[in-house]
């Protein structure tokens, strides 16, 4: 028998940060709200760690509007086809291509392809460098082929059905220290929804974790109910598995509570 434990279904959009990849060598596309792939599928030639260029085909079939493809859509296509590397986006909607080799040993180079006429990656090889988590910028590399910038590296956005269990974001009250504004929201998601999105580890825990960013909450019709500006951003500060009542179904945790606040938590 199937049960639905979420009473009020909304949609929450998150962006995940991958700190294990932020130290890898990477190249960044031009900054653009959308990219024009109206000409159809296009190839990107990428060399990873000094190997021969790989042909990565960016397919338009999965794009809502190929003439106005989003950075998320493009990065998803590149990540699916690139061996030894990955692709994600910056907060400024630039597409990133990176090697999986962390530290100074890796390299990545976009060598050409019709897709690069659209994305405009630099074609000089980036050896070492990568992203500096401490200073929040790309590390300079030899030849200045990639200028430092202050952008986080985030995976393409993921949208999940949810329940807004508690939303105190923007509530105002008078406290002992004067006027106070609450900056918290709790999102409840089903484990099955996380699993369908590929966000459950083998041990059953959520891959959405402390430090990932809540972008917005919409209704099922796509109407934005609350959007969270970045900066300052609203971040997951605690991940809690439910352990009571019908939430414990079939011997597995079924509901996961994502506590989100404007103050970034510690992982």
pLDDT of 252 strictly over 60: no
Do the beta carbons of residue 51 and residue 35 sit within 8 Å? no
Instruction: Please count the helices (runs of H) and the strands (runs of E) in the chain.
Output: 3, 21
Q: What is the model's pLDDT at position 20? A: 46
CATH topology of domain 24-132: Immunoglobulin-like (2.60.40)
Q: What is the model's pLDDT at position 243? A: 55
Q: pLDDT tens digits, residue range 133-189? A: 544 555 544 444 444 333 456 777 899 999 888 766 555 555 566 555 566 889 999
pLDDT band at 7 (very low <50, low <70, confident <90, very high): low
pLDDT band at 93 (very low <50, low <70, confident <90, very high): confident
Q: What is the model's pLDDT at position 16? A: 87
Query: Structural domain boundaries of the chain?
Result: 10-15+155-261, 24-132
Q: Is the whole model's pTM more than 0.75, yes or no?
A: no
Mean pLDDT of 231-245: 78
Mean pLDDT of 66-83: 94
- Whether the bond into 267 is cis, omega within 30 of 0: no
Q: What is the model's pLDDT at position 182? A: 60
Q: How high is the mean pLDDT of the chain?
A: 78
Residue percentage of the chain with pLDDT more than 70: 71
pLDDT of 120 strictly over 70: yes
Pairwise CA distance, residues 97 & 86, whole Å: 6
Which of 23-37, 170-184, 236-250 ranks highest by mean pLDDT? Answer: 23-37
Q: In a 10 Å sphere around its CB, with 0-12 CB exposed, 13-18 middle and 19+ buried, how is residue 222 labelled?
A: exposed
Q: What is the model's pLDDT at position 248? A: 47
Q: What is the model's pLDDT at position 13? A: 93
- Whether the bond into 33 is cis, omega within 30 of 0: no
Q: What is the model's pLDDT at position 220? A: 85
**Which of 230, 236, 184, 241 minimizes the C-alpha distance to 212?**
236
Q: Which residue has the higher pLDDT, 100 or 29?
A: 29
pLDDT of 206 strictly over 80: yes
Residue percentage of the chain with pLDDT more than 90: 31
**Which of 20, 128, 135, 121 minimizes the C-alpha distance to 75?**
121
Do the beta carbons of residue 94 and residue 138 sit within 8 Å? no
Q: Is 216 helix (H, G, I), strand (E, B) or coil?
A: strand
User: H helices within the chain, ranges in order?
Assistant: 71-81, 116-119, 191-196
Q: What is the model's pLDDT at position 208? A: 92
Please state the φ and ψ torsions of residue 29, each to the nearest 5 degrees: -75, 180
Pairwise CA distance, residues 214 & 79, whole Å: 22
Q: What is the model's pLDDT at position 1? A: 37
DSSP for 47-71, written as a single string: EETT-PPEEEEE-STT-S-GGGB-H
């Amino acid at each position: 028998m199937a049960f639905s434990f979420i009473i009020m279904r909304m949609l929450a959009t998150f962006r995940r940060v991958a700190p294990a990849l932020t130290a890898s060598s990477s190249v960044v596309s031009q900054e653009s709200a959308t990219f024009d792939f109206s000409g159809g599928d296009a190839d990107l030639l990428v060399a990873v760690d000094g190997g021969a260029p790989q042909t990565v085909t960016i397919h338009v079939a999965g794009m809502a509007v190929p003439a106005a493809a989003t950075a998320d859509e493009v990065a998803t296509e590149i990540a699916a086809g690139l061996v030894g590397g990955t692709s994600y986006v910056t907060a400024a909607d630039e597409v990133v291509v990176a090697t999986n080799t962390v530290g100074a040993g890796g390299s990545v180079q976009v060598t050409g392809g019709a897709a690069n006429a659209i994305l405009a990656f630099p074609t000089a090889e980036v050896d070492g460098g990568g992203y500096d988590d401490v200073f929040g910028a790309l590390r300079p590399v030899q030849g200045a082929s990639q200028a430092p910038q202050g952008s986080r590296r985030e995976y393409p956005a993921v949208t999940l059905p949810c329940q807004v269990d508690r939303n105190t974001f923007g509530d105002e009250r008078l406290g002992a220290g004067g006027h106070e504004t609450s900056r918290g929201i709790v999102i409840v998601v089903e484990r099955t929804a996380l699993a369908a999105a590929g966000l459950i580890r083998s041990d059953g825990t959520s891959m959405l974790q402390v430090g990932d960013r809540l972008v917005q909450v919409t209704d099922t019709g796509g109407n934005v109910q609350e959007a969270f500006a970045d900066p300052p951003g609203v971040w997951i500060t605690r991940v809690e598995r439910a352990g009571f009542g019908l939430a414990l179904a079939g011997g597995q945790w079924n509901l996961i509570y994502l506590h989100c606040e404007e103050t970034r938590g510690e992982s």
